Amino acid sequence: MKRLFIVSFLTFFISIAFSQIQQDKISINQDIELIKINENAYVHISYSYVPEWGKIASNGLVFINGNEAALFDTPMTDSLTKDLVNWIHDSFKVKIKLFVPNHWHSDCMGGLAYLQSLGIESYANELTVQLAKSKNLPLPSYGFEDSITLHLGDKKIFCEFLGAAHSLDNIVIWIPSEEILFAGCMVKEIKSKSLGNTIDGDLIAYPETLRKVMNKYMEVKYIIPGHGQFGGVELIKHTLDLCSKK
Of 73, 107, 108, 169, catalytic: 107
Do 224 and 61 contact (CB within 8 A), yes or no?
yes
Of 105, 159, 170, 243, catalytic: 105
**Residue 154 bears catalytic tag:** no
In 3-state terms, what secondary structure has residue 51?
A: coil
Of 197, 200, 202, 212, catalytic: 197
Of 31, 59, 103, 155, catalytic: 103
93: Cα separation from own chain's centroid: 22
**Residue 227 bears catalytic tag:** yes
Identity of residue 186: M
Residue of 17, 121, 132 whose CA lies nearest to 69:
121
Angstrom distance (rounded) from CA 231 to CA 246: 23
Residue of 166, 169, 99 whose CA lies nearest to 131:
169
Angstrom distance (rounded) from CA 207 to CA 24: 34
Do 58 and 48 contact (CB within 8 A), yes or no?
yes
**Residue 166 bears catalytic tag:** yes
**Residue 107 bears catalytic tag:** yes
Of 108, 159, 185, 243, catalytic: 185
Angstrom distance (rounded) from CA 165 to CA 98: 25
38: Cα separation from own chain's centroid: 15
**Residue 31 bears catalytic tag:** no
Of 44, 155, 227, 238, catalytic: 227
In 3-state terms, what secondary structure has residue 209?
A: helix
If one counts every other C-beta atom within 10 angstroms of the C-beta of residue 240, the result is: 16
Do 175 and 155 contact (CB within 8 A), yes or no?
yes
**Residue 103 bears catalytic tag:** yes
Of 44, 155, 188, 238, catalytic: 188
Of 31, 65, 159, 166, catalytic: 166
Catalytic site positions: 103, 105, 107, 166, 185, 188, 197, 227
